[in-house]
């Protein structure tokens, strides 16, 4: 009787153990789990992407409803899979498998908790915020209404301070109603991040870089310290010139720059005030890409074809026919779309790649087309990898590819594609400061902005910034990092961060900071590899198959290895560094230091 009893107990223990999570897991369990995730992604992924594509291409009540529903379902299933992946934490696994599990556990931006109501609520808020930005417009009276593109038209080109201020403040009205929704979304996302085992959203966002979050953040700050003297010199010079143009009442001779006169809605690029801040050598010929695009009467599609040709010259495969059929290149007149440029990998197994962009025929958008195609050719390079490995080595790599090619839009390249004559290209190269200044007004100016944006967001995530100081802390950071200030008092009734796409859109922004730094490291290393001996700003990798192979090899790795491995494959280095960007702009920095000698630079 006793024996029978203990046998029954043993059977009970065995049965109960095998029916819960404490079951001993094996590698083959991991394999079947990964296969399941792969299959689910194949079925749910493309439909969820289509729902999202429709909701950004036709912003309507119903398209938002469908996108939110897919968002919720996708989110819940991803969290379930992340939790399942965590059950293999104690298993000793090959690196590749461990990496796949980690990617499944950490691949979230704004995770929902495993709760139907909260998952529904956060998905609705996300969709609402996206639509509020996409539909954003402001009327001063019933006959005086503007959307973002109309406001940008003014900010980018007007020199009338009153008109500029009106457009600058007008666009920021769209932020106000986002504030409470944004805070509620962060509250739910924080719960989601904690459920996944992270110490909140900041920890989740910065744990994706193959090193502890804190170490990564220290790295980004370290590089900023390297680049800051160049930025400070530029800020000082631009302030002087804008002060000369606008006078003390608009631009003070010392301190910070007012945000509305910088030629960009967010002050993140000052290229549009180039003519105010730099006097070109009268003997040099300057190349104005916007005028060339106009003179050649290029269509939007032709601009994309020229950018595609750059990639083809490096040996990349052409884009599929469906790219040309399904992409959006121009702003539709009869419906509302999210105009902020984006690149889509809708159905990786069928190479359904698209961009969505309201292209304007100017230099800025010509460069942005290269940026977007960088994403597209990255997708194409890694789409035959397993689903979990389809991603950039880190998100900064994804942002850097197109920008890297844009660094090669040199006068010589423009000559090669028949935009300018050889004589014009040579004449333009006679004034390197002019070329570098134009580049720096975009490439250097954006750096502190790309760093401060997520510092603000991280403050919200950790709770250091609260509802009471949302807007003031935004401006404190803009002042500290960029030396830019708001042109008028901005109280807490405003939500100025909401007027930037990536805040309501929940797109992490540190990726652009990484890209702005890494693209120069890539460029310098490729130019060395191909044996280019002149100054870095004259080097173009156009038509160079050797550079093409190096880039493609890196892209084809997707996120299958730590980013440092991918970085090393191209540059031979494993760490971020400000040295390449400083080398690139060295002649300009020296010139600026001379110009600034008698000026009192810096700001409090």
Residues identified as active-site: 340-341, 371-372, 375, 399, 502, 512
Residue tagged 């105009």 (tokens)? 339
Closest to 82 (Cα-Cα) out of 69, 96, 100, 94: 100
Q: b/e map of 378-406 (b: 16 or more CB within 10 Å)?
A: bbbbbbebbbbbbbbbbbbbbbbbbbbbb
Tell the smallest beta-carbon distance from residue 457 to ligand X8Z (Å): 14
Residue with Cβ nearer ligand X8Z (231 or 512) = 512
- Work out how close the CB of 563 gets to ligand X8Z at its nearest, in angstroms, rounded to a whole number: 18
Which CB, 198 or 266, lies closer to ligand X8Z?
A: 266
CB closer to ligand X8Z, 198 vs 456: 456
Size of residue set near ligand X8Z by CB under 6 A: 5
Cα dihedral 217/221/223/228 (nearest 10): 160
Closest-CA residue to 544 (of 553, 531, 556): 531
CA 453 – CA 446 distance, rounded (Å): 11
Does residue 337 touch ligand X8Z according to CB under 6 A?
A: no
**Nearest to Zn ion of 399, 454 (CB atom):** 399
Q: Which two tokens stand for residue 206?
A: 């910065």
Q: Does 371 participate in binding ligand X8Z (rule CB under 6 A)?
A: yes
Burial class (CB within 10 angstroms; exposed 0-12, middle 13-18, buried 19+) of 347: middle
Q: Which of 88, 171, 323, 512 binds ligand X8Z (CB under 6 A)?
A: 512
* Shortest Cβ 285–ligand X8Z spacing (Å): 29
Radius of gyration over every alpha carbon of the chain, rounded to an integer in angstroms: 26
CB 473 within 8 A of CB 459: yes
Residue 280 C-beta: closest distance to ligand X8Z, Å: 26
Q: Which of 306, 337, 341, 530 touches ligand X8Z by CB under 6 A?
A: 341
Taking the C-alpha atoms of residue 563 and residue 566, their distance in angstroms, rounded to an integer, is: 5
Smallest gap from residue 342 Cβ to ligand X8Z (A): 6
Indicate which of ligand X8Z, Zn ion, none lies near residue 365 (CB less than 5 to 8 Å, by partner kind).
none
Residue list 314-333, contact with ligand X8Z (CB under 6 A): none
- What is the token pair recorded at 280? 């070109």
Q: How far apart are CA 274 and CA 583, in angstroms?
A: 22
CA-CA distance, 100 to 212, in Å (whole number)? 18
Dihedral sign for Cα 577, 553, 350, 41, please.
negative
308 or 403: CB nearest ligand X8Z:
403
- The one among 169, 368, 408, 439 contacting ligand X8Z by CB under 6 A: 368
Do residues 270 and 277 make contact, with C-beta atoms less than 8 angstroms apart?
A: yes
Check residue 56 for interaction with ligand X8Z (CB under 6 A): no
- The residue (of 367 and 427) whose beta carbon lies closer to ligand X8Z is 367
341 binds, among ligand X8Z, Zn ion, none (CB under 5 to 8 A by kind): ligand X8Z
152 closest CA partner among 247, 39, 272, 35: 272
* Structure tokens, 510: 């540190």
User: What is the size of the binding site for Zn ion (CB under 5 A)?
Assistant: 1
Closest CA to 462 of 214, 215, 252, 167: 214
In the complex, minimum distance from the CB of residue 375 to Zn ion, in angstroms, rounded to a whole number = 6
Task: Tell me which residue has its CB nearest to ligand X8Z.
Answer: 341
> Going residue by residue from 387 to 416, which x/- string records binding to Zn ion, judged by CB under 5 A?
------------x-----------------
Binding residues for ligand X8Z, rule: CB under 6 A, are 341-342, 368, 371, 512
- Which residues of the chain form contacts with Zn ion (CB under 5 A)? 399
């Amino acid at each position: 009787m006793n024996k029978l009893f203990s046998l029954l107990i043993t059977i009970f223990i065995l049965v109960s153990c095998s029916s819960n999570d404490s079951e001993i897991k094996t590698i083959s369990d991991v394999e079947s789990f990964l296969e399941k995730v792969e299959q689910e992604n194949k079925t749910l992924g493309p439909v969820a992407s289509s729902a999202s594509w429709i909701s950004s291409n036709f912003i309507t009540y119903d398209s938002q409803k469908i996108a939110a529903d897919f968002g919720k379902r996708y989110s819940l299933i991803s969290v379930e899979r992340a939790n399942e992946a965590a059950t293999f934490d104690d298993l000793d696994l090959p690196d590749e498998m461990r990496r796949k599990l980690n990617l499944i556990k950490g691949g979230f931006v704004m995770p929902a908790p495993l709760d139907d109501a909260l998952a529904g609520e956060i998905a609705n808020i996300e969709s609402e915020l996206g639509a509020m930005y996409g539909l954003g417009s402001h009327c001063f009276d019933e006959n005086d209404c503007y959307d973002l593109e109309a406001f940008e038209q003014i900010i980018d080109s007007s020199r009338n301070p009153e008109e500029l201020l009106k457009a600058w403040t007008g666009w920021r009205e769209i932020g106000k109603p986002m504030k409470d929704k944004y805070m509620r979304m962060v509250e739910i996302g924080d719960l989601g991040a904690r459920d996944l085992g992270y110490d909140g959203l900041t920890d989740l966002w910065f744990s994706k870089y193959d090193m502890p979050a804190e170490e990564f953040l220290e790295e980004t700050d370290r590089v900023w310290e390297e680049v800051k003297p160049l930025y400070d010199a530029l800020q000082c010079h631009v302030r002087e010139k804008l002060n000369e143009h606008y006078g003390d009442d608009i631009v003070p001779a010392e301190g910070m720059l007012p945000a509305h006169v910088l030629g960009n809605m967010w002050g993140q690029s000052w290229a549009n005030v180039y003519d105010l801040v730099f006097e070109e050598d009268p003997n040099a010929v300057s190349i104005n890409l916007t005028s060339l695009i106009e003179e050649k009467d290029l269509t939007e599609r032709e601009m994309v074809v020229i950018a595609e040709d750059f990639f083809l010259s490096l040996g990349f495969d052409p884009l599929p026919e469906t790219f040309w059929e399904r992409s959006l290149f121009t702003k539709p007149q009869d419906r509302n779309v999210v105009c902020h440029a984006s690149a889509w990998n809708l159905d990786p197994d069928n190479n359904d790649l698209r961009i969505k962009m309201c292209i304007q025929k100017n230099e800025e958008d010509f460069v942005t087309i290269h940026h977007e195609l960088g994403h597209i050719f990255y997708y194409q390079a890694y789409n035959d990898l397993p689903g979990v490995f389809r991603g950039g080595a880190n998100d900064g790599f994804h942002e850097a590819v197109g920008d890297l090619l844009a660094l090669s839009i040199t006068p010589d390249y423009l000559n090669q594609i028949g935009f300018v004559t050889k004589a014009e290209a040579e004449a333009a190269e006679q004034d390197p400061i002019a070329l570098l200044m134009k580049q720096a007004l975009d490439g250097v100016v954006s750096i502190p902005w790309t760093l401060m944006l997520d510092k603000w967001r991280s403050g919200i995530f950790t709770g250091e910034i609260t509802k009471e100081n949302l807007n003031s802390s935004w401006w404190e950071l803009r002042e500290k990092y960029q030396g830019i200030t708001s042109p008028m008092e901005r109280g807490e009734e405003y939500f100025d961060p909401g007027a930037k796409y990536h805040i309501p859109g929940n797109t992490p922004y540190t990726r652009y900071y990484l890209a702005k730094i890494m693209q120069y490291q890539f460029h310098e290393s490729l130019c060395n590899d191909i044996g280019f001996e002149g100054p870095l700003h004259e080097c173009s990798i156009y038509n160079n198959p050797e550079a093409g192979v190096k880039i493609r090899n890196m892209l084809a790795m997707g996120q299958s290895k730590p980013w440092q491995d991918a970085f090393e494959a191209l540059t031979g280095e494993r760490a971020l560094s400000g040295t390449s960007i400083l080398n690139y702009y060295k002649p300009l920095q020296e010139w600026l230091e001379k110009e600034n000698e008698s000026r009192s630079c810096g700001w409090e």
